[in-house]
Each structure stands twice: as structure tokens, then as C-alpha cells.
Structure 1
């Protein structure tokens, strides 16, 4: 007890000595005034006017979405060679971000807003840059599709609708919600490790878990860069970190994108047909999920420019009361049922009921049904020698992306004798 008390006294005295012996800044005694010597109020100089501090803009208040992201970046800088190699690649392609900004312009504000709403790292808003180059119609050889490159099974598990008429993976609202749901799930599974989470988004949870387990068993680091993963995944995380590095340190120009909503989803009830070709061409590039334009079937909404939202609300209301004259009509015969007719035309009963505003399955002989098939507009094209997707798309005046979507093509390679389905509008 005595030793402890003596030690405490010693430490206290040593502390006092160290404080008293700490060098002090030199003092000019000529400038010191006692309280009695201080000037009177009339003698005091008038202080300069104090300029109020300009309020700092929040990320949501700045003009540019890229700047909004930059202000919230939280991942630590990485100087790993794989990251620096990708940084060099970006810098050697100075026009790359011009195209990225052009593609991202309609979508980035919404994606950033959703990431913020979930209190997730803002870096995740850049994942579509790595996944698809912000191409909403992108389609991979593994049948992943859209901005976030969701596979059919994963998308449907997280509630994305996929039918012959609508693929929500290519809709920014549906796909972003599903992708962030999946990321949140992975984050919990990987105990809050973001690099492992992002890697698992690319290659799958099981593959990353197995790599971590193998390293633990071998007594190795479980850091992402130490894991034995497929080449694509080993490059995936560095690509994201490189993009973050360039944006954070402003080493590359990211052409500005307005920090305001560019698009709006208008709810759709039933089926909508945009009969005016000039109308639907105006929004087709915002609605890659609608597979057979101008027939909007199974889609929960139509994506339109925010600036034209009111115009489109009126247009949709008008279209929903149209006569559907351009569509095939079917007269119900004896022995027919909705299921029989649906099977005959490769439709679902739900689609038939939706398209005809039917509240029950009962139909009567002689009644007419409208089929969600444009009259004389489905063509089966047999590929000939020398033909390419570009030539066929140009011939039918459709996009290559739609040709690939209609025929579930993951590449541009065609074989002579292949048959392609083409949907044409008569409007």
C-alpha cells in the first residue's frame, strides 16, 4: 500500500514538474495591459465588421450529382497495385467518363437518393459503372441484365417482375431496389466487411465464403486482396475503388449531372398502348424493361422525363381509353376459355384479363377479346450468310438491344440458319 501511495505521489510531482517545465511561447511584456490600464470604451478601436460565415451546402444542395457523391465518400484510399493499375487505365481513356455521364444522367440521381435513404456507403452508387457502364439494356453471357446485372433467379427472389412483356431488371426503379436489398443481405452475411460484400455481389456469396474459409484454414489473411477468387472478381473491387479514387481526388473529369430528379415513374393500371410512334420513341430509352413497345403490359409503371410528367399523365389517361384498333381481336367460340385462348397465343390468363379489363374468368360465346399482340407484327427472320445483328436491326428499323432482348441473346454472334423473332409496330 505504501509503495502504491509513494508511486502516486511521485507521478503527481513528476507531472507537475513536466507541466511547469514545458516550454512556453515568448511573451512581449510591452504589449501586456492590466485591467486598470485597459483603454476606456471611447478609446477602443471600432472592431471590423464581422462577416457571417457562408452556410455550407449539404450534398443534397449542390448542383452536380457527382459532387454530391464526392462529398460523402467514406472508403479509405487504397494504393494496392490492382487499384492503381485501374486508375491508370481510366486516366488513359480521358473520354470514358463523358459517355458514362451521358448514360448515367437519367438514373444517377435516383440511385444516389436510394443509397442515401438506406444509410449505405455512397460508393455503392458507382456499382452500375462497374457492372454495366450504366447501360440499362446490358445483357451478359450469364443472362444477367440491366444496370445492376441481376440474374433472373436473383431478381425474382427480391421481387422483380419478369414476364414475356416486362423485365424489371432493366427498369432503374425495380432493379435498384432489388440490388440494394441484395447488398444489405450480403453485408450482414459478411459481418460488415464491404470489400467481401461487393465481391460476393459479383461472384456469389458461397464463392467468397469458401475463399475466406480456405485462407483461415491455411493461416492466411482474409483481406479481400489475399483471397483466391476468379479473375473477374479480383478485378471487380479494384475497378470500383479506382473510380472512387478518381472522383474523390478529382483526378479525372466527371461531366456534371444535374442534382435533381430527371425521371419519374407513372403508375400503370392494366395495359397501355402508345399508338403514336413519336410518343413512345420519346420514352423508349427510359423503359428498356418494356419488352414489346409500344405495348406496355405487366409493367408497374412507365418511366418518363420529370419535366414532361404532367404531359405523360394526360397521355396515358387518354391511351387507356383508346379503342385498341391496331391489336388483334378474337371472337370467343364454343369450348373456349381464357386458359385455352391464353395457351393458344402464348399468353397468361392474367394478361388476357388485364388487357380486357375482366374481373372474372367468365366469358360468353360471341364476345370479342383484344389480344395483346399487334396485328401482323411478329416476324420470324432466318439468318442468312453475311447478315449481322446490325444489318437485321437496320432492315427492320429496330434497335440491336431489342433484337437481343426479344431473342435472349447475350452476344452479337449469329449463326447462319438461326431464327430471330422480330416485333414490329404498325404505328
Structure 2
């Protein structure tokens, strides 16, 4: 699956989705990398360079170079790889945008890959999956840096609720994606090309292609398999990017080789009082769907160099400050379950918010409910409307408009109703 996007002057579709089906079972233990036709140690030339500059990955100044000296996959002369290399070289601005987007996340991703002793090439997968766009959302409902589908996210225990989507959180999504890759590596007997292809199209399709080639007496290496065109191009895109980085044939604008982000745990439900201050964090917390209402999120992501100040700000957030919360008066026919459903919270959360010991409520009783904005409206799509036009009208982002309404498409239907949250601040 492809996710089209504009990167500077580049108008090319590069994004393909993650696997469509959940795995059958988790690996019992972390696999050990072994050599196979798709995993070969870098050539002697690179080893000679490393001998001249014997720096450890952690000692380098640039995360891209930290990746470069650890690249393992062999170079490929396959036409699909060479074609993709040529494309990259004719679009130098592409990597500038990629580095800008990757800057907050790449150090964390690389560290997680290294901690698992996985091929460092896997750290480049968000480049192929989402162009390092944490808010990316595909027409197949795959989402985030790693383009996890709902089924894969659920299988690997990534929380998705009306208030939080862990697929768009760098910490939760990276953990799940690497768990999935470890599973696929074991499933495909240590062949990383097969595993990476399966991440894109699903393990069933790759297994069928392998079985078909075996039956016909053909080779079962990745380039010999009959797979959908998007998957046939998926692995070459990754290999091409890796080869360009390894041989330094293209500029990858430097990203500091240091931790850029930190997480602060969140317990319960919080509506952040200082909207202006917390808006600074919105770009790091795409998983928080109804910002600044932080509900169901296990943490918030903050800049590492501001961790202490945000920790203090969060600690000083009064749990009984309901100035940003909506006040609701119980009406005839109401119940906790009805109110909870209408406001997309659980009964348990509703009771916690209001310090209720039982499920009994009475007409006229005042309740507080999470509300992320000063006004919530239902907008009915008219002829000539577009997401861009509606977002501009209400001064909200297209990303949030789609997220609030669980939209994976860019088109709208006349008569369709959209929920829009408006802040007066």
C-alpha cells in the first residue's frame, strides 16, 4: 500500500504499509542474526575505512553515520535497486526533509534496534514506510512512523482508544514494530529480505510465493518471488537507501547522535491547563488524539533538554483543577453507560473523574467530563468542501481533523458529518 505525499518539490509515492494480518504466534526468544543470502557482512572496503577511524557508534557525532558503520546487508546490483538509487540521486532535497522529520526520533529508533542486536538497516524502515511522518495514516488504516495496522497493533499490545493511538507514538510503535520483525525473522528461517517483505504485504503472501517457487523448482530468494508490485519495490527502496548511505554517495543531513526526546509517565486523565505551553509538545505526541486532553496515554514525549521543566509542570498540574473540563448536568434517561458512550470514555473513567463510588446518578447532578476544546461542533460536508478548506475555516490542522474523525482518505462525501473541536485561545 502506498501513501502519497509531497516532500519539498518531490511528488513521488514512497510509502507502503505494514503487514495486513496478525502473526500466528510470538517467538519464544529473541532470534540471533545469522548469515543468509539476504544478510551479508559489509564489504572489505568499509572494513578498511573503519580500521582507519576506529570509532564506536556511540562516539560519532551524527546518527546517520552511526547507522552507516553498522550496515550489514550486501550491495545489490538488481535493476530495481539501481533504479531506486538513481531516483534518490536525482531528488537530493528528499533527504533534507527526511532528516528534518527524523531528527526527534532516529536516535531512539537506532538505540532500540541496537539493544535487540538486530540489523541496523531496520532503523531505515520508517523512511520507506512513512517518510518519518509520525502522523501518517494510510487508506488501509495503517498509521504512524512504522505504518502499523490495527490488527498488528492489537496483537503486539499497542493501545488504540478514542483518546490515544499508540501507533503514532514513537516509543510504543517502535517496540511493536521490532517485536513484529523479530517474529517474522524467525518465521522465515533467518532470511531478512523475506521478513521485511512480509512486514509490507503479510506473511501469508510471502509464504505462498515461496511455496509456489519451491513447487516449480525455482529459486526462493526475494528477487525471484512473484509478489505484488508494491512489495517488489519495498525491499529495493530500503536496500537503495542503505547503499547510498554506506558509500556516502548522497548527503544525509546530520542528526545529532544524542537523545533528543524523553518520556514522562502519565497516570489517570489530565487536561493540561496551560494550552499554549502544551501546544509546544503536540508535534511529539501525535498519539494523543484529543490534545490537550491526555487520557489513556501511558506517557507524554518531551524534548530531552526540557525534561525537568516539563516534569515540574506536570507535577504541578492540579488533579482537581477542572477549569478546562466540561460540566454536564444529568438529564432524565441518562445513565453512566449512556453518558460514557456519548463522550467516548469508559464508565470506570467517568466514575474516577467524578469520584463516584457507585453507578447511581440522579437528575440534575453535575458531572465533569473531558473536553479538549471550548467548543465541539458537528460539521455537515457540503458540495465543494475539502479537508483543507474545512481545516482552514476552523483553524485546525488537516491531520487532527482526520484523526478526530478516524479518516484514512483525503476525499469527503457530501452530507458526511465531521466532528471539529475549536479552541478560543
Give, in angstroms, the shift of residue 312 of structure 1: 0.7
Aligned positions of 1:319-398 closer than 5 A: 319-321=317-319, 323-331=321-329, 337-356=335-354, 360-361=357-358, 365=362, 368-374=366-372, 377-398=375-396
> In 2, are the aligned partners of 1:155 and 1:169 still within 8 Å (CA)?
yes
Which residue, 125, 135, 138 being the options, matches 2:136? 138
Give, in angstroms, the shift of residue 319 of structure 1: 2.1
> In 2, are the aligned partners of 1:294 and 1:425 still within 8 Å (CA)?
no
Aligned positions of 1:130-169 closer than 5 A: 130-169=128-167
Q: Tell me: higher relative CO, structure 1 or 2? Use CA pairs within 8 A at least 6 residues apart.
A: 2
> In 2, are the aligned partners of 1:297 and 1:351 still within 8 Å (CA)?
no
Distance in structure 1 (CA, Å) of the matches to 2:358 and 2:395: 38
> In 1, are the aligned partners of 2:271 and 2:325 still within 8 Å (CA)?
no
Which string of whole-angstrom CA distances, capped at 9 and with x for unpartnered residues, describes residues 275-294 of structure 1? 32321220001010111111
Which string of whole-angstrom CA distances, capped at 9 and with x for unpartnered residues, describes residues 321-344 of structure 1? 352123222355788653343134
Distance in structure 1 (CA, Å) of the matches to 2:337 and 2:413: 36
Please say which of residues 274-283 and 294-303 is displaced more in the overlay: 274-283
User: Do structure 1's residue 114 and structure 2's residue 112 form an aligned pair?
Assistant: yes
User: Do structure 1's residue 246 and structure 2's residue 247 form an aligned pair?
Assistant: no
Look up the match of 1:281: 279
Look up the match of 2:81: 83
TM-score, length basis structure 2: 0.84
Give, in angstroms, the shift of residue 350 of structure 1: 3.0
Distance in structure 1 (CA, Å) of the matches to 2:89 and 2:157: 39
Distance in structure 1 (CA, Å) of the matches to 2:255 and 2:60: 11
Look up the match of 1:208: 206
Q: Matched residue pairs, number?
A: 374
> In 1, are the aligned partners of 2:273 and 2:323 still within 8 Å (CA)?
no
Distance in structure 1 (CA, Å) of the matches to 2:370 and 2:163: 10
Which string of whole-angstrom CA distances, capped at 9 and with x for unpartnered residues, describes residues 282-317 of structure 1? 000101011111111110001111111111111112
Distance in structure 2 (CA, Å) of the matches to 1:101 and 1:270: 35
TM-align CA RMSD:
2.0
Look up the match of 2:187: 189
Q: Which has the larger radius of gyration?
A: 1
Distance in structure 2 (CA, Å) of the matches to 1:274 and 1:161: 21
1:184 to 1:317, Cα distance in 2 relative to 1, 3 A: same
Give secondary structure in 1 for the equivalent of 2:371. strand
Which residue, 173, 177, 180 being the options, matches 1:179? 177
1:342 to 1:399, Cα distance in 2 relative to 1, 3 A: same
Which residue, 252, 259, 270 being the options, matches 1:272? 270
> In 1, are the aligned partners of 2:245 and 2:252 still within 8 Å (CA)?
yes
Distance in structure 1 (CA, Å) of the matches to 2:388 and 2:249: 37
Look up the match of 1:38: none
User: Do structure 1's residue 420 and structure 2's residue 409 form an aligned pair?
Assistant: no
Distance in structure 2 (CA, Å) of the matches to 1:265 and 1:376: 28
Give, in angstroms, the shift of residue 207 of structure 1: 0.3
1:277 to 1:237, Cα distance in 2 relative to 1, 3 A: same
Please say which of residues 307-316 and 412-421 is displaced more in the overlay: 412-421
Distance in structure 1 (CA, Å) of the matches to 2:387 and 2:332: 44
Aligned positions of 1:91-110 closer than 5 A: 91-110=89-108
Please say which of residues 310-319 and 60-69 is displaced more in the overlay: 310-319
1:263 to 1:356, Cα distance in 2 relative to 1, 3 A: farther
Gaps of 5+ in 2: 1-50
Look up the match of 2:216: 218
Give secondary structure in 2 for the equivalent of 1:369. strand
> In 2, are the aligned partners of 1:342 and 1:348 still within 8 Å (CA)?
yes
Gaps of 5+ in 1: 1-52
Give secondary structure in 2 for the equivalent of 1:298. coil
Give secondary structure in 1 for the equivalent of 2:256. coil
> In 2, are the aligned partners of 1:270 and 1:357 still within 8 Å (CA)?
no
Give, in angstroms, the shift of residue 273 of structure 1: 1.4
TM-score, length basis structure 1: 0.83
